[in-house]
């Protein structure tokens, strides 16, 4: 729980990036960034083959992310919905 509370104390994108650069290896960050991009594309109704070409993600990763979108805890939806709201108010 302390990790998540620590993340919530970060105030800027730069602070967030610095924290995750310290916390994670480059490989871990690249994997998370790829999964996030796959989730964003799936959320926006892009098809698997196009996602594979665009991100380099395997069909297994795309399928795993899709399961999280459909049956997970709802975290992706919270982030994507709030990002859309923020964009709409800009």
Task: Decide yes or no: CATH 3.30.2130.10 for domain 2-89.
Answer: no
For residue 82, the model assigns a pLDDT of 93
Q: Tell me the per-residue pLDDT of 14-31, one tens digit each, with 9 for 90 and over.
A: 999 999 999 999 999 999
State the DSSP code for 44: T
pTM: 0.90
Dihedral of the alpha carbons of 47, 71, 28, 19, in degrees to the nearest 10: 110
Q: Tell me the per-residue pLDDT of 45-58, one tens digit each, with 9 for 90 and over.
A: 999 999 999 999 99
Whether 90 has a pLDDT exceeding 90, the answer reads no
> Which of 13, 11, 62 has the alpha carbon at shortest distance from 36?
62
Mean predicted lDDT score pLDDT of the chain: 96
């Amino acid at each position: 729980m302390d990790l998540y509370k620590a993340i919530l104390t970060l105030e800027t994108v730069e602070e967030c990036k610095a924290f995750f650069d310290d916390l994670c290896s480059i490989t871990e960050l690249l994997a998370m960034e790829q999964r996030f991009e796959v989730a964003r594309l799936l959320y926006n109704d892009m098809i698997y083959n196009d996602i594979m070409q665009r991100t380099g993600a395997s069909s297994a990763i795309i399928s795993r992310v899709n399961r999280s979108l459909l049956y997970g805890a709802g975290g992706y939806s919270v982030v994507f919905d709030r990002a859309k709201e923020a964009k709409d108010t800009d």
